[in-house]
Structure 1
Amino acid sequence: MTKRMAITQKLSAIPQYLQHINGRLHNEVKELRRLSALLDIMNHGRLDTFFQPILQLRSGLTMGHEVLNRPPNSTQFPTTEHFYEFAGRTDQMFRFEHYCRRISLSRYMERLPEGGAKTDTLVFINVHPGVLNDVRHKSGETLSLLQELNLSPERVVFELTERQAVQDYVGFEKVLSHYREQGFRIAVDDAGSGYNSLKTLVYLKPEFIKLDKSLIRGIHGNREQQELLELISEYAYRSATRVIAEGIETEEELLYLQMAGIEFGQGYALGRPGHRPVRGAFPADSPQVPVRGGYKHVSSDR
């Protein structure tokens, strides 16, 4: 290869190199804008908080609420999933989780209906597993907040999602034992959506299993989903774990879950997220029929 040819090849690669650099700069500017938006949300309290009821599927009583914090609509975060995915991989994750926990519990107590503070309903708050095990986390910090709010730790459930996978199960179980000794309870979210959730159930022994909406969607007509539900239900029964079905949107799904003996449920058919933690309810046109030990609601076309 002549010297001229070598120089020509290097020169021809310059546009591709400049395009690569430009792409990197574009991505870095995009990330900086997202980080700036995240900091603005935390600094100015721009998260909006909603509460979705969780019902006992036999009686229709509201046993608790899940707290859902949502970011404002923006070009930086087109969906809530984009927002939490970004927050979870930044160096602001610990601060963000601390902020979310405080506003979740504070707004829950502020917005309870009159007399609601005297009930024993539970409040489920989403927690990143990495934060509970973070060296920056101060022991007793959440308990101090609860004392300020006059809220018992026995009413608080830390909801862990499998999308934020646990790496050291044995060590993390010790961390959870510390929280349990203080009165808190643990729920594993998204159960049934992947291998990690099954591994999490075995190692962490949660008080609640929240079945992923992908398992519940159309379950009344899908044998494979029904079989997986049976397996998880059997495991829950043997390990004294309570089951909560998420994403119930139709009367048919509700009916099947009731007949399958699932204890608790959550979803649009039972109550949409609202700005106040109000009671949920079965669909209005679902009549009651007696069953052993109580009543169940069934859809009117069955």
Structure 2
Amino acid sequence: MSCQGCKVSDLTYQFDLQGQYNEALTDKVKEHLQRNDVPVTLTKENKLKVPEHHIREILDFFEDHMETDQIFFRTSQGEWSPLSEISEVLETSWIDEIILEELVHCHYQPILRSDGELFGYELLARFTDGEGNMVYPGELFQAARLRGRLYALDRVCRMAAVRHAARLDKVKAFINFIPTSIYSPEFCLRSTMQLASQLNLDPQQLVFEVVETDKVDDVEHLKKILTYYKDKGFMYALDDVGEGFSTIELLTGIEPHYMKLDRKFVSDVHEDPEKQRVAHLFLEKARSMGTIPLAEGIEQQQEYQWLKDAGYVLFQGYYFGRPQSEPVPRDALNF
């Protein structure tokens, strides 16, 4: 078995023709398209499947002959959506080149200890299109979700981050991943593990960081992924943890090595009693789990000082250094 979701193959669309009128025409649609050399198939569930490069023919037929408000579509990894939204997916085809050509590199953002020593870097993906123009990560990941390319994009980013981690000397490399982009750890993460081994990276140097921690719905799936990392000797972190700790409570037994306090509780924490309350609760929870707390998003000296005095031991944010294309040495950082 291989990780098919990580490959950028020709996209196939499925169409669900609902309503009595549309359903009665399903076979006729198939026959018409086949007569015009369109490779259309009918699934066992009576859904039409058409490759993307023939999508215009079937859309034209729908517009001319069918009740389009009763037609729904999806890509191989997507959810069913109204036909009226298909143009949004078709307009994201540009993302395929970025993934296929691996037009991704990483910037390094420093993470420092309370004694001022450099602890590591978070490796943040940055992208360009085929003409060298910068593409913002938010735009790219949104396009990947629409187009069903999230698995493939997340894999390309992980692999790039591991390669960039090989440039670091003895400090930690925090590598982001999206849990929902990994459907089977033993297959989806195999290439990542192999690359780390080829580069002679010490597993303890790599910290795989769960992004969108607050959006995790399938906690059992997340536990399976983190157990896989743990069994392979790697470390892991939870990002953007805030008040409530619902995800943390459910992770009993495989507690994270690091937890990042959500930046919304860091901003102006030195003058906001409610944020201070949450920061203290977070710290107590981390200590009870044997987890190292990390405060991210620090932009002011006062924020850093308050968090340090409170007992936080790791810090990250623009106050110390912005993400850079090269790892900035310790003596060049603001501290």
Into which bin does the TM-score normalised by the smaller protein fall?
0.7 to 0.9
Q: How far does residue 89 in structure 1 lie from its aligned partner after superposition?
A: 5.0
Q: Does residue 203 in structure 1 map to residue 246 in structure 2? A: no
Q: Superposition RMSD on alpha carbons, in Å?
A: 3.1
TM-score, structure 2 as length reference: 0.67
Q: How far does residue 280 in structure 1 lie from its aligned partner after superposition?
A: 4.5
Contact 2:126 2:135 in 1 (8 A): no
Higher RCO by CA contacts (8 Å cutoff, separation 6 or greater): 1
Equivalent-residue separation in structure 2 for 1:78 and 1:107 (angstroms): 20
Q: Which residue of 1 aligns with 2:86?
A: 28
Q: How many residues align?
A: 254
Percent of aligned pairs sharing the same letter: 28
Equivalent-residue separation in structure 1 for 2:313 and 2:307 (angstroms): 8
Contact 1:133 1:172 in 2 (8 A): no
Contact 1:271 1:280 in 2 (8 A): no
- Give the counterpart of 1:151 among 201, 205, 213: 201
**Secondary structure of 2:107's match?**
strand
Q: How far does residue 269 in structure 1 lie from its aligned partner after superposition?
A: 0.8
Structure 1 gaps, min length 5: 1-16, 287-302
Contact 1:269 1:282 in 2 (8 A): no
Equivalent-residue separation in structure 2 for 1:246 and 1:199 (angstroms): 20
Equivalent-residue separation in structure 2 for 1:135 and 1:48 (angstroms): 24
Contact 2:214 2:240 in 1 (8 A): no
Given the superposition, is the C-alpha separation of residues 262 and 88 from structure 1 closer, same or farther in structure 2, using an over 3 Å criterion? farther
- Give the counterpart of 2:103 among 23, 46, 64: 46
Deviations 1:72-98 (A, max 9, x none): 389x99743232233245422222111
Given the superposition, is the C-alpha separation of residues 143 and 230 from structure 1 closer, same or farther in structure 2, using an over 3 Å criterion? same
Given the superposition, is the C-alpha separation of residues 38 and 139 from structure 1 closer, same or farther in structure 2, using an over 3 Å criterion? closer
Deviations 1:143-202 (A, max 9, x none): 21111111111111111023573333234323322320211111110111x65xx12212
Q: Any runs of at least 4 consecutive aligned residues in structure 1 with deviations exceeding 6 A, and if so which?
A: none
Structure 2 gaps, min length 5: 1-66, 72-81
Matches within 5 A, 1:108-123: 108-109=165-166, 112=167, 116-117=168-169, 119=170, 121-123=171-173
Matches within 5 A, 1:193-272: 198-204=245-251, 205-272=255-322
Given the superposition, is the C-alpha separation of residues 88 and 128 from structure 1 closer, same or farther in structure 2, using an over 3 Å criterion? farther
Q: How far does residue 47 in structure 1 lie from its aligned partner after superposition?
A: 2.2
Report the residue type matching 2:89 in the other structure.
E
Equivalent-residue separation in structure 1 for 2:126 and 2:84 (angstroms): 27
Equivalent-residue separation in structure 2 for 1:98 and 1:18 (angstroms): 36
**Secondary structure of 1:86's match?**
helix
Equivalent-residue separation in structure 1 for 2:214 and 2:98 (angstroms): 22
Q: Does residue 94 in structure 1 map to residue 148 in structure 2? A: no
Equivalent-residue separation in structure 2 for 1:135 and 1:55 (angstroms): 31
Given the superposition, is the C-alpha separation of residues 90 and 135 from structure 1 closer, same or farther in structure 2, using an over 3 Å criterion? farther
Q: Which residue of 1 aligns with 2:125?
A: 69
Given the superposition, is the C-alpha separation of residues 61 and 123 from structure 1 closer, same or farther in structure 2, using an over 3 Å criterion? same
Q: Between 85-94 and 47-56, report the one with greater CA deviation.
A: 85-94
Q: Does residue 129 in structure 1 map to residue 179 in structure 2? A: yes
Q: Does residue 106 in structure 1 map to residue 156 in structure 2? A: no
Q: Which residue of 1 aligns with 2:54?
A: none
Q: How far does residue 246 in structure 1 lie from its aligned partner after superposition?
A: 0.7
**Secondary structure of 1:137's match?**
helix
**Secondary structure of 2:151's match?**
helix
TM-score, structure 1 as length reference: 0.74
